[in-house]
A and B are shown apart, each in its own frame.
Chain A
Amino acid sequence: MSDRRTISVTINGEAYEREVETRLTLADFIRHEVLLTGTHVGCEHGVCGACTILLNGRTARSCLMLAVQANGQEIMTVEGIAPNDTELHPLQQAFQDNHGLQCGFCTPGMLTTLIEFLGDNPDPTEREVREAISGNLCRCTGYQGIVAAALDAAKRLKGKETAGA
């Protein structure tokens, strides 16, 4: 009776094919079908940003998309940010070094949002960082550590670029 479709979605470089109900949200697909539970759900009405993922490189709230809409697309979740199992991405390292997380629940959404933002704006001001994460609620940190981490990460990422060039 229920409306179902088979979809194929690439997440963090790996292809997943699943038959799903068409009303299944992308967040639930990622968390409960593919079992990548790093992406979190905090409101299911588009305000908290905990469910933010990168869809073809652009942030999106996965609670406001249907899984079927991701058919054939590329997704990156928090699990896909670090370069390997032992190292952290410079943004993640900056979060640890600046106490940018406490309970860690908002963190995946913060990281994915900032990955996109620092790509758009590699040299941001504090105000710009605060506006960039205005769609991500954190109840623990008061944002201070997160903002510091983002500014620190911008420096680290630029340093890396210059070093590599």
Chain B
Amino acid sequence: MTPTLTIEALAGDPKRRRKERRVRTLFASAGMVSIAVSILIMVALIGEAWAFISQVELASLFTFGWFPRRGFYDIPTLIVATTLIAGIGMIVAVPLGLGTASYLAEYASPRARRWLKPTIELLAGVPSVVLGFWALTFISPEFVQRLFSAAPPFTMMAAGLGVGVLITPLVATVSEDAMRAVPIDLRLASYGLGANRSVTVRKVVVPAALSGIVASLILALSRAIGETMIVFMAAGAVGGALRTANPLEPGQTMTAAIAALATGSDQVAGEGLAFQSLFFVGLLLFLITLVLNSVSNRFVRKYRERY
């Protein structure tokens, strides 16, 4: 114990303070990497996309189909197929995911929940290439072609159903989290007024968890739009596709178009602008999913703030 204290004694060890500053800088630069990656993505996409859009004949962006190696870049073909497949996926995933989430959050006993939840997470962990294979070898012959005998082996329907299986656990887990975040008091209040469980779930829990549920659906939609392998493997049309909204025909989404072009012969080849067109489609895809994710994040923040 020093009887008198000088200001120097409280200045601290300069070596320690230097080290502290260095560590802080190091960590901060790691934090900046995410910004750098975003910039890189933008640079990578925008450069080639610009090269594409400035050289392509605008008329070839609206023709009858997507055949980049032959110079036909009908963007609507890709948009229609993407919308169709994501739509089919959502038709599957919304009821299955929300039903599963409601059951897990409100009905399942803690014991049942303990093994049901990991099982759903297991399904979420199945890689998309596996679901692509399954969509092609099971969903298509055993389901689509049985229901519609005229359907070919590669259909947007089979791909859409596969995408539905992919995003169901996503809807289920995110919505379940939102429902479980609803305070127990709200439920007790409902029961206290004489409501039964079904009424409580439908009239109290779901409305209270709505922003989280909406977030899960938008997130799932974004994932469906961004999914590549299932569509690439099960929807066919690897060489190119005609513009069609018939789910029982082959089709090509934005993602599959990129994959098909890049995988063609281990080499992005073809008529002049094919390579650049990849990046143009990639940029479109990036922007669409960015908007969806931002909206979804906003909804998530909303329910986080509420409770």
Do chains A and B interact in one complex? no
Which residues of A are interface residues toward B (Cβ below 8 A)? none
